[in-house]
Amino acid sequence: MAEQDRRRRMEETKKQWEEGSLKKVLNRFPERNKVFVTGSNTEVNRLYDPFDLIDFDYIDELNFPGEYPYTRGVQPTMYRGRLWTMRQYAGFGDAEESNKRYQYLLKNGQTGLSIAFDLPTQIGYDSDHSMSHGEVGKVGVAIDSLEDMETLFNNIPLDKVSTSMTINAPAAVLLAMYIAIAEKQGISSSELNGTIQNDILKEYIARGTYIFPPVPSMRLITDIFDYCSKELPKWNTISISGYHIREAGATAIQEIAFTLANGIAYVDAAAKKGLDIDTFAPRLSFFFNAHNDLFEEVAKFRAARRIWAKIMKERFDAKDPKSMMLRFHTQTAGCTLTAQQPDNNVVRVAIQALAAVLGGTQSLHTNSRDEALSLPSQKSVRIALRTQQIIAYESGVAETIDPMAGSYYLESMTKKIEQGAMDYINKIDQLGGSPKAIEKGFIQREIQNSAYQYQKDIEEKKRIVVGVNQFQSEEEPMKDLLKVNPEIEKRQTEKLNKMKKKRNEAKVQKELKLLRKTALSKQNIMPSILNCVKCYATLGEICDELRSVFGEYRESLKI
């Protein structure tokens, strides 16, 4: 009874407000825009109030932290228990230089290493390949053989650290090298802790460091799932990434829709291979982007958790709650950083990082202000890390769980994003799943349309970017930009040549032949790759062997 009275009173009051003071003000002072939209062009109402949450069911839609569908977070205590991992993606030059840096970080209390590889490594070329010229050691460390990996992890006990490797097409090779080093250190592979990105579908969609066509690529991935579930139970076998999809211009809804659709494709592939869902699904992790529109982003993270939980439970019939929990890493949005007035980027990164934390991320990388100009300088990297620390220790947002929950706006937005994403996922299902949708170019086209729209909106000043299309000012160019040492390429090539003279060539050729045989068969490919890396076959040699069996992928243009 009281409930009904309250409701009636609310309705009446709202009506009075709308027809009274609101109308009066609107007549005299029209609003800034006819329509208001989020950073991803989703329409935003003037006001959100209890009427937006009329059918809201707390248990169904949110529930308590650590409970299905995990909207409020995957752990019961969230950051009150432990803060998110502050994980800065780094890696530069050659293995020796990077090793020094890692040792320094570990001495200073960091336990998680995050490794960036240079582009030749990511595409499976050795440093002396003609395609590698000018790229060696540029965006990360160059790895040609087990020897480089030994240098990279020299004096680093692999049972004491967790290592995240941003590697996709040749992920199996780098993982094999990691296992081989652990063996040399006398550490069992079951002790190893870490993550490989291993997400090839988003490479076709957005990031571009693919090697092989989809079918053999998916086989490599499921081979890794299978192998790790037996040999490396603590290893995160994939980081299903929306980050690059968003960077390519996707909206918030598209980011999670396409990422989760890819996730479905991986689970499908593994299930088809006969793997039990609850043995591999708990090792799946995700990687998202954090943009400027604070509420939309927080809603996005929460919606993603809710959707994934439902998919795992209802569609795949998972039983283990761990299979349903969407754990994710976040990186702030590189594409929002401006070359103009780069110091402003510090503020953007702060808002984005805040969104990630309010969204319940498990780990976070904050970008450096100068990333639109070059590789980040030391000083910029430090500011970026400090930004996270200020959020963690000064802002107060980590002291209670999911503090924005219950906001009329946030919950409405969470629901809207969930619906939008589900519409896409259904559409992709109709097209036959995400690999087919990629082949048809559907996903790429949707993203490109969003990217083009965004650019047009900026050019027509429908969207303001401070310092770019408004509030411009004359400025001094940034100084102290980091440069990669051009000697690295030469050094790396010399090292490679020397190593090749030392190794047992006959053994290498024999193992490569065996690898070829395995590749042509249906057997798990991991043991063969492991044998190859152990006798110092190079990354390029291994990938070339696989190229000759699997062929190479060519992008399809969808504009």
Partner 1 sequence: MKNSIIRVLVAKPGLDGHDRGAKVVARALRDAGMEVIYTGLRQTPEQIVETAIQEDVNVIGLSILSGAHMHLFPKLMKLLKEREAIDIIVMAGGIIPGEDIVELKKIGIKEIFTPGTDTNRIIEFIKENVKVVR
Partner 2 sequence: MKLSDRIRQGDTRAAAKLITMVENDFQQAQKYLKELQEYCGQATVIGITGPPGSGKSTITDRLAKHIRKIGKKIAIIAIDPSSPFTGGAILGDRIRMQDLSTDKDVFIRSIGTRGQLGGLSRSTQAVVKIMDAMGKEIIFIETVGVGQSEIEVIKVSDIILLLLMPGMGDDIQIIKAGIMEIGDIFVVNKSDREGTDRLIVEIEMMLSLNDVRKRNPAIIKTIGTENIGIEELWQEVERLNVYLQDKGEMQLRRKNRIRKEIHDLFLENWQELFFQFIGEDNIENEVQKILKQDIDPYSAVQKLTEVFKKQIIKGG
| Short-list 179, 257, 275, CA closest to 218 | 275
Contact partner, 208, from partner 2, partner 1, ligand GDP, none, Cβ < 5-8 Å per class: partner 1
Q: According to the binding rule CB under 8 A, does residue 463 interact with partner 2?
A: no
Q: What are residue 363's DSSP bridge partners? A: 85, 329
| 452 counts as binding partner 1 under rule CB under 8 A | yes
Residue 131 binds which entry of ligand GDP, partner 2, partner 1, none, CB below 5-8 Å type-dependent: partner 1
Place of tokens 């000759």: 548
Rounded distance, CA 80 to CA 241, Å?
27
Q: What is the dihedral of CA 518, 176, 193, 302, to 10 degrees?
A: -60
Give 210: exposed, middle or buried? Use CB within 10 Å, 0-12, 13-18, 19+.
Answer: buried
Residue 554, interface with partner 2 (CB under 8 A)? yes
- How would you classify the pairing of strands 36-37 and 43-44? antiparallel
Cβ closest to partner 1, residue 249 vs residue 359: 249
372 contributes a contact to partner 1 by CB under 8 A: yes
481 counts as binding partner 1 under rule CB under 8 A: yes
**Which listed residue (150, 320, 439, 457) binds ligand GDP by CB under 6 A?**
439
In the list ligand GDP, partner 2, partner 1, none, the entry touching 484 (Cβ below 5 to 8 angstroms by class) is partner 1
State whether the Cα torsion 179-185-191-196 is positive or negative: negative
Query: Can you tell me the distance from the alpha carbon of 393 to that of 381, in angstroms, rounded to the nearest whole number?
Result: 19
Stretch in the footprint of partner 2 (CB under 8 A) among 178-186, 301-309, 354-362, 551-559: 551-559
Six-digit token string for 3: 């409930």
By CB under 8 A, residue 134 contacts partner 2 = no
The span from the CA of 424 to the CA of 402, in Å, is: 27
Could you say which of 385, 465, 466, 514 contacts partner 1 (CB under 8 A)? Answer: 465
Q: Are 161 and 155 in contact (CB under 8 A)?
A: no
Which residue's CB is nearer to ligand GDP, number 218 or number 309? 218
Please tell me whether residue 556 binds ligand GDP under the rule CB under 6 A.
Answer: yes
At a CB cut-off of 8 Å and minimum separation 6, what does 509 contact? none
DSSP H helices in 468-538 = 487-502, 505-520, 526-534
- Provide the 8-state DSSP code for 265: H
Binding mask 380-409 for partner 2 (x = CB under 8 A): ------------------------------
Q: Which does 373 bind (CB under 5 to 8 A by kind): ligand GDP, partner 2, partner 1, none?
A: partner 1
Nearest to 447 by CA among 522, 372, 342, 335: 335
DSSP state of 341: S
Answer yes or no whether residue 96 interacts with ligand GDP by CB under 6 A: no
Site map 186..215 versus partner 2, x via CB under 8 A: ---------------------------x--
**What x-and-dash track marks residues 421-440 binding partner 2 by CB under 8 A?**
-------------------x
Q: How far is the CB of 440 from ligand GDP (least distance, A)?
A: 8
In angstroms, what is the minimal distance from the CB of 510 to partner 1? 31
Q: Note the residues at the interface with partner 2 (CB under 8 A).
A: 213, 440, 551, 554-557, 559
